[in-house]
Structure 1
């Protein structure tokens, strides 16, 4: 029998019954072995697709009375929708749901995905257009537009059965726009002033007094669970305007989203840098303790494997530290010894490293300029780095054992940094676009970018639709409102399909990019290829002539050349490389480790975008110590072992 009861209060949770008789799915031994995939539930699948993909058992999915959405065809379907109508459709709910994700587990498994990261799925205000999920109204329920709590539990069970873990995106910093300030006006942060409020928003219009609780308004008005109806839960200090001013960015509302009072700590701007003193001085408030219980509940209820924590910059580090301890301990009590907490930590790499070290979070997502440097290296617009200098201008510089970062081992980066390029926000960019959205040439360079992401150091994460060449882009000149909509096309088509299409889905398992990811993930995931997942990383010198070796650098802000790197683990070396020139093949010599390969005669090509090279032996020559010679196809990628 399905339990449809939703607790109105945290006091209704029976913690013993929650886990009674259950065996929980264990954590992975090492998260750097995983391949993450981030999706928007509303934009992924509605379960009506047919053709182009197989079900979870590998059987072709055929047209039926319930499956009426055919596969997208580039020649017939692209750019057919009226752009303004299409764009407006993307500004609100489109109809994807949790059952649709479960329907596509076979597609994801065959691609090589081992962990799904879902956008926040908790209930939004009934009248809200927050399809993205970042404005929570009921922390103990799933938004009915996504499905039910039972749907989530069934998705997790089905995913675990296929060896796929589930990570939920959660928000500790704020809730939705659940109350209004006096007169319904916008109030802004000013020197910590607490502003007068009108009341909780009432479904259908009007306000509810915040000085008392409103159990009779269940389930459509105020905020839930009922403990959150105490007005002391909210800072009530107005919207942030100075996003780097301390303590404004800690205490203020995140735009219209209402800030939760986590507790007291040092507020002196001169002490903002001192994380240790801020942590030592932190005293938790009731609202923060409620949040800890809420997210313990979801682990116990649905067997969740990890959380991605939104807007960590806007939380006191003392709160983050306590939350990490509480969640890790609870997960360990269920047998999840390596429950993963990934923080969205903005504010620069140094700040991110310190937050991870001081708070006990497990990883940081896309630290600072990682996405930018990864994307633009693959596009030939950035330096890959230069180990001969102390500068950290290139992608590979970011992961060096730099004393600047106080990190003295590659293991820190491998375990604690999630790497990706396409994403749902692109913070700091006014007119947003996916990797393939800025030019026709970018699609050609998508495989080098993916190869770089999947085989360089860190935990790789793919953004939904990248495997189908999604190219959403804001082409407007002046207006930047709703620019992030262009990053969030529907995989299932609907009224907001990618490539300005409607009514056609994109689950194409024969797509060349899907096939590329599938092949690289298969190689990466083999037990004996552990170096591709956990190995030390070295940018390699290359040479066109075999005489002069160098670390390739841009000329006139352009790098159309081969970038190669090694992953080394326990006396085993893999050599990977990309060609950032989309128009010509390039033959180069690549330096390899002399000590490891002393006495060896060749490396084997495990993969190349030139299929004729796969399986070939690449002779080792005495050049620059030792080197191999390889012809890298235009916009190509290779792996040698």
Structure 2
């Protein structure tokens, strides 16, 4: 059992850091390249509680397994009456019961899907007595695990189990803000540039009864426990916080740097200018905290929350410190990926030393819209100019600087109350396989958001509805309750597993250069497909080329008809005496013509491909 820690100077913390610095071969090594990995993002509260029937548990059992699998007839079983529907909606904003042990129990499920790295949402101890903090972004104690999710030992066991199966673990961390750990005098404030007076730290009941200073400097009352104020103890000073009130204008500097993130209190990390940067005491403390968790749990990377609101100076400092620490203990390629909203993602990665940025803005929007036929293919592929001298704003990305995903838990590009998953409309429910195939076989480090592989629709409009419980809680997907969704027999699950295996087999799909290809119906007139009218129904084809090996991929945005077309290929790599072999097709029974594509002398070189309706093919 792991002992409690109250300070980064506690012996328990220092012992972990000392052992890490003096031991050899103690830690799981980093991957050679993160573009070789396939990520899976989950929210701990919404993923699994290890009680799902008919699932394969890596450790063999020891769990109650009383939740049956979802059947089509269970759709809407939680909303049979208006009162039921209201209760289901309210349950969407409170803890559902997912745990770290639950994630551990699904390592086999994830491995069979083709996942090689799990990105786990925040797990640190939240402000107590608030069931709405299931998301994990309102930290009250950075040195402990949220009891709803489990214990420190549970985290370490999860990571060990994942490593045993060849899966890396990336943890979501927060530096920009804490939970609502203090109250302003007179109530919540809006940012105006002035500093506001604080009434006090919140006690264990959430009341601001404690002086706004170090807990050791007061006569500790009975309720001034570990549930009070903020921990580690080094953060219990007024200087930890900017105390300037909540952000109103999310794009106005310095408001978005120094303002509170709604009720989440902004931590003063230092100047956002990286030149001649000096870290604050709070940043130094949090740096030690996150070094400790790397060493304690043998983590492989961090996803850093709200990087835009931290500023370049603090972000560069934490990236440098964590990279150096991880390298010193044998993790040469420790992964740091930043949530960078707005238009500065590329510059932020280059300036700060982040390894990658999340593609949660225009790239995610176009990755969503292209398979549905709602944008021209060039709008997506032009975002991946693979050389610095071709940079256009933020859109010059190499293969390992961008984490790409179709669904996620925020959908910042949609905004407001217009949020839902890819499968929420007719086109999405038909075209999810080619969408995931596009994600898996184009540039970037692909990531699947939990439940997308089970057709989750996320209908409802706000964030809560795209954060369904996958394990059968009271807020299940498809407006259900008491049914789990770990179904490995669905067409989508099986096919994603096949595509993932091919991605691991062929380096071109992970590291190759990328080209959007011209197509032709007759073999004479070639061009890049584009929208004519309301929705494009066409083959969209692209090539990945690596070390002289070309793999041609194509999706079909038509959900009713298969399409045949001549697709341009590299004229220097092919001649007209050869043919391309089909590596993959969604066709249940491929014809002899579909199994190979003859190379012809057209538009340089071309090959005739047949792509099933809502389908995906790969040729080599």
Q: TM-score, normalised by structure 1?
A: 0.90
Pick aligned residue for 2:72 from 74, 88, 100: 74
- CA distance in 2 between counterparts of 1:623 and 1:264 reads 58
Alpha-carbon distance in 2 for matches of 1:355, 1:80 = 44
Q: Which residue of 1 aligns with 2:133?
A: 130
Local SS of the residue matching 1:361 = coil
Q: How does 1:418-437 map to 2 (within 5 A)?
A: 418-427=403-412, 428-437=414-423
SS at match of 1:25: coil
| SS of residue in 2 equivalent to 1:445 | helix
Distance between the aligned counterparts of 2:91 and 2:179, measured in 1?
Answer: 22
- State the shift of 1:346 in Å: 1.2
Equivalent residue, structure 2, for 1:5? 3
What residue number does 2:257 align with?
A: 250
Q: CA deviation at 1:404?
A: 7.5
User: In structure 2, what is the equivalent of residue 597 of structure 1?
Assistant: 574
Structure 2 counterpart of 1:234: 241
**Alignment-derived partner of residue 16 in structure 1:** 18
C-alpha distance 205-263 of structure 1, shift in aligned 2 (>3 A): closer
Match for residue 261 of structure 1? 268
Alpha-carbon deviation of 1:130?
0.7
Deviates more, 1:15-24 or 1:120-129: 15-24
Aligned to 2:227: 220
Partner of residue 51 from structure 2, selected from 48, 53, 59: 48
Which among 163, 172, 176 is matched to residue 173 of structure 1? 176
Find the residue that maps to 1:283 and give its secondary structure.
coil
Q: How does 1:495-534 map to 2 (within 5 A)?
A: 495-526=474-505, 529-534=506-511
Residue 282 of structure 2: which of 280, 287, 292 is its match?
287
Say if 2:167 is the partner of 1:164: yes
Following TM superposition, by how much is the alpha carbon of 1:401 offset from its aligned partner in structure 2, in angstroms?
3.8
Say which is worse superposed, 578-587 or 155-164, in terms of deviation: 578-587
Shift of 1:264: 3.4
Deviates more, 1:574-583 or 1:361-370: 361-370
Q: Counterparts of 1:18 and 1:34 in 2: how far apart (Å)?
A: 26
- 2:373 — aligned with what? 380
What are the within-5 Å matches in structure 2 for residues 410-421 of structure 1? 412-421=397-406
Structure 1 Cα separation of the partners of residues 522 and 268 of structure 2: 63
The alignment status of 1:444 with 2:426, answered yes or no, reads no
Residue 293 of structure 2 corresponds to residue 316 of structure 1? no
1:344, 1:34 → 2: CA distance? 19
Offset at residue 402 of structure 1 (A): 6.5
CA contact (8 A) 1:39 1:117 kept: yes
Q: How much has 1:474 moved relative to structure 2? A: 1.6
CA separation of 1:639 and 1:78: change in aligned 2, threshold 3 A: farther
Q: Report SS of the residue matched to 2:111.
A: helix
Residue in structure 2 matched with residue 357 of structure 1 by the alignment? 350
Per the alignment, residue 199 of structure 1 pairs with 200
Choose which of 524, 534, 547 in structure 1 pairs with 2:524: 547
Q: Is the 8 A contact 2:360 2:411 kept in 1?
A: no
Give a deviation string over 1:299-320, Cα, whole Å, max 9, x none.
Answer: 0100000000111111120111
- Answering whether residue 359 of structure 2 is matched by residue 366 of structure 1, we say yes
Instruction: State the Cα deviation string for residues 86-121 of structure 1 (Å, max 9, x = none).
Output: 111111000000000000100001110000001110
Q: Which residue of 2 aligns with 1:390?
A: none
Q: TM-score, normalised by structure 2?
A: 0.93
SS at match of 1:138: strand
Aligned partner of 1:268 in structure 2 is none
User: 1:622, CA displacement in angstroms?
Assistant: 1.1
How far off its partner does 1:600 sit? Answer: 4.9
Measured in 2, the distance between the counterparts of 1:23 and 1:199 equals 43
Higher deviation after alignment, 422-431 or 98-107:
422-431
How many correspondences in the alignment? Answer: 600
1:274 counterpart residue number: none
CA distance in 1, matches of 2:577, 2:6: 67
Secondary structure of the residue that 1:451 maps to in structure 2? Answer: helix
> For residues 468 and 621 of structure 1, what CA distance do their matches in structure 2 show?
40
Residues 613-635 of structure 1, C-alpha deviations (whole Å, 9 max, x = no match): 38812111111111111221111
Whether 1:463 aligns to 2:455 is no
Return the alpha-carbon distance in structure 2 between the equivalents of residues 559 and 396 of structure 1: 16
RMSD, aligned CA = 2.0
Instruction: Label 1:522 to 1:437 Cα distance change in 2 as closer, same or farther (>3 A).
Output: closer
Query: Secondary structure in 1 aligned to 2:559?
Result: coil
Matched-pair contact (CA < 8 Å) for 2:563–2:612: yes
* The one of 88, 91, 94 aligned to 1:92: 94
CA distance in 2, matches of 1:381, 1:584: 18
